[in-house]
Structure 1
Amino acid sequence: MNKADNRAEHAGAVDMARIEVIAPNLKQRLSGVTSTIVQLVPVQARELGIAVFGPGLPESLPKMRWWQLPSLLRRPASGRPRIWHARRNTEMVAGLVLRHIFRAQIRLVFTSAAQRDHRAFTKWLIRQMDGLIATSRLSGRFLDVPHKVVMHGVDLDKFHPPRTANDEFAASGLPGKYAIGCFGRVRHSKGTDLFVDAMIALLPEHPGWTAVITGRVTSEHKGFADELRQRIAAAGLSERIVLLGEVPDVAVWYRRVSLYVAPSRNEGFGLTPLEAMASRTAVVASDAGSYSEIVTPGVTGDFVAAGDGDALRDAIRPYLADPALAEAHGVAGLEDVARRFRLENEAASLREVYDLVWAKG
């Protein structure tokens, strides 16, 4: 073992000679992009030399350290240029700086989840990429250049149907026989208020159900969350519409609820419906992000126009009236995820993009 290998081993870094793909994460806070990287990279690493780079990532992932950046100036042992797989503008910029200023031996791939017209600077960045990926057909419509649609997958080991007594709603200690959930950051863009309004309207008619909301409340959105609590208290439903805040393991809550609601007003891709379906839980969602491409109405759940609180309430009502419907759609959702949205499917499709980029030389 040479000195460089010894240093890498003791620093918990990867052997860069074997790394052909870098997945940068140039954002400290947890986000949907970060979650995607955390779930996907271990699957990619089974058949590909890949490493993450940047803050906010668990030490369990193969990781390139900052002091290893000079290794990008030369190619790995395979002789192919490394791929820098960006998912944010900052990461595209970093890749261009590495390639054109520091002469790094890399090719640039970008995944776009945005479902809006890109700004001029972003469009320019996108045109500099060697490979482009859209996370849904809808996001692909906003790319004016050739691309491949690769939808995200879900970790079926982490998100799975109930297996133990702790996975049942009764283990939560909350009232009711059935639960309906809404998980994610508590804020206006996520539609948490639309969910609360629907619950205030519906729960008095369905005494067997309890609504559970989990997710971070940042200081910026504390007033929004406080207003929701006041609204719930005024309706006399504080024991049946529960805001838990951040929980240690949200996966168990997907298993405890019979229906999951994703009421976002806007979204990039949005993994939560997939996580619910993998847990054998029916889903009602808005048509934000990729939700309309994930949920099959009348089979695995339903979706409504984003921001339409009345439609959301009406879509939820049949499930509260008939828990067997929620159970049936949950079973169908698990089958659909296992067929269409496995992480292995996403990893294989990304490898096809990488191979096309490498074929260009």
Structure 2
Amino acid sequence: MPKRTEGNSAARSCDLVLSDLHHRITGVSASIRAVLPKLDERYQLMFLARRSEGNVAARSLWKGFREMARPPVGRPFRIWHVRRNNEMLWGILARDVLRMPVKLVFTSAAIRRHSWYPRQLIARMDAVIATSDRAADCLENIAAVVPHGVDIERFELDGTASENNQAQPWNTYTLRLGIVGRVRPEKGTDLFVNALCATLPNHPDACAVIAGKVTSQYQGFARRLREKLAAAGVLERVFFLDEVSSDQMPLLYSQLDIVCAPARYEGFGLVPIEAMVSGTAIIASRTGAYEAMVDEAGTGFLVDLESSPQIAEAIERLLTSPDLLDRLKQAGRQKVRNQFSLDHEVAGITHVYETLWHQGAHKA
């Protein structure tokens, strides 16, 4: 791979373009931004987005198009890695209408058949990456299956919080459960709350943290969750946090013993592997790539969709079996190290890039 040179990569001819063309930070944004620093070390990278990420400066789409109109140095073409419909459309415009020297790589996490419009866009990509075997089954002409990964060093804390964080109210309890993600039905927040109502009354030494933004659309939904917890007599042991910033997530995970991910639908879903590498046990629904992450009773528990009773049963087992809880924590951490590290993801992605460039060089 080419060595990076000193200076600002955005000012030099780039060979790789990544984009996050969305008005807010989403799960897709998080997966893009996670790999940015490592890819920026390997390639002359340009990042098209509204917000910069760390030391990687963001550029506007207009400025990006002006750069992409010029041939890259030392490559037969640039690669633009896209992950959304609008990015695919802009990429097709750049390559096919404006005749820019660019090839398009698309990553798909969807575990159901795409609708007509995105299928037409995907069919015009130069390479397609699926994030799981289930996602690959919904696509054609897959170049590779590359699961998303997590930054092991960032999440693998030793569980020792600062004096200030030890003072958080949930840290006064012996056992701490949690759910991470926007508070809404799709994420299964209500299923988690139903399970808490069934289990927490029997375990006064346990509490729960619900960490996620409540948008205006779901204010009523969140209010009903609180009412349900109050009726069960456990509301004072359930702590609602607003959206937790990305840099604070490793610390929050490190303070939890069990994390539930009972989503009704998830494309891939980073929560289980982020939590596992942070040292928690996992209870996850059978959606997204969760079945590849969670080994039943080996690294956690898998539950059927919409099943609060199964979530409650898994919680009960873990709260009453400290040896099992410790074993799942250790096994989950090791599984992420072995299979879902950010380095594994970057290696898989760059293999697709290098294959495209190799093929282009031989055709030239």
- TM-score, scaled relative to structure 1: 0.92
Alpha-carbon distance, 1:90 to partner: 0.9
1:3 matched to which residue of 2?
Answer: none
Cα 1:48–1:13, aligned 2, differ >3 Å: closer, same or farther? Answer: closer
Query: What are the Cα deviations for residues 75-111 of structure 1, in whole angstroms up to 9, with x where unaligned?
Result: 2211321111111111101100111222211000100
Does the alignment pair 1:35 with 2:34? no
- Tell me the SS of whatever aligns to 1:284: strand
8 Å Cα contact 1:133-1:148 kept in structure 2: yes
Q: Hey, what's the Cα distance between the residues in 1 that align with 2:226 and 2:159?
A: 33
- Tell me the SS of whatever aligns to 1:360: helix
How many residues matched?
Answer: 350
Q: Hey, what's the Cα distance between the residues in 1 that align with 2:57 and 2:74?
A: 18
2:153 to 122, 138, 157: 157
Does the alignment pair 1:82 with 2:81? no
Query: What are the Cα deviations for residues 131-190 of structure 1, in whole angstroms up to 9, with x where unaligned?
Result: 000000001100022331000110112211325343998542234211011011100000
Q: Hey, what's the Cα distance between the residues in 2 that align with 1:284 and 1:356?
A: 38
1:21 matched to which residue of 2?
Answer: 16
2:211 matched to which residue of 1?
Answer: 214
Q: Hey, what's the Cα distance between the residues in 2 that align with 1:169 and 1:263?
A: 27
Cα 1:30–1:145, aligned 2, differ >3 Å: closer, same or farther? Answer: same
1:313 matched to which residue of 2?
Answer: 312
Does the alignment pair 1:202 with 2:215? no
Range that drifts further, 53-62 or 91-100: 53-62
Range that drifts further, 215-224 or 307-316: 307-316
8 Å Cα contact 2:159-2:255 kept in structure 1: no
Percent identity over paired residues: 37
- TM-score, scaled relative to structure 2: 0.91
Range that drifts further, 309-318 or 331-340: 309-318
User: Where does structure 1 differ by over 6 angstroms across 4 or more consecutive aligned residues?
Assistant: none
Cα 1:61–1:99, aligned 2, differ >3 Å: closer, same or farther? Answer: same
1:26 aligned partner, one-letter code: L
8 Å Cα contact 2:157-2:250 kept in structure 1: no
Structure 1: which 5+ residue stretches go unaligned? 1-8
Which runs of structure 2 are paired with 1:1-361 in the superposition (5 Å)?
14-17=10-13, 19-58=14-53, 60-65=55-60, 66-166=62-162, 170-174=166-170, 175-248=172-245, 249-361=248-360
1:104 aligned partner, one-letter code: M
Query: What are the Cα deviations for residues 225-245 of structure 1, in whole angstroms up to 9, with x where unaligned?
Result: 111111111222111122122
- Tell me the SS of whatever aligns to 2:198: helix
- Tell me the SS of whatever aligns to 2:148: coil
Q: Hey, what's the Cα distance between the residues in 2 that align with 1:207 and 1:41?
A: 44
- Tell me the SS of whatever aligns to 1:104: coil
Q: Hey, what's the Cα distance between the residues in 2 that align with 1:323 and 1:78?
A: 57
2:353 aligned partner, one-letter code: Y
- Tell me the SS of whatever aligns to 1:53: strand
8 Å Cα contact 2:149-2:341 kept in structure 1: yes
Aligned CA RMSD, in angstroms, stands at 1.8
Q: Hey, what's the Cα distance between the residues in 2 that align with 1:253 and 1:163?
A: 9
- Tell me the SS of whatever aligns to 2:218: helix
Structure 2: which 5+ residue stretches go unaligned? 1-6
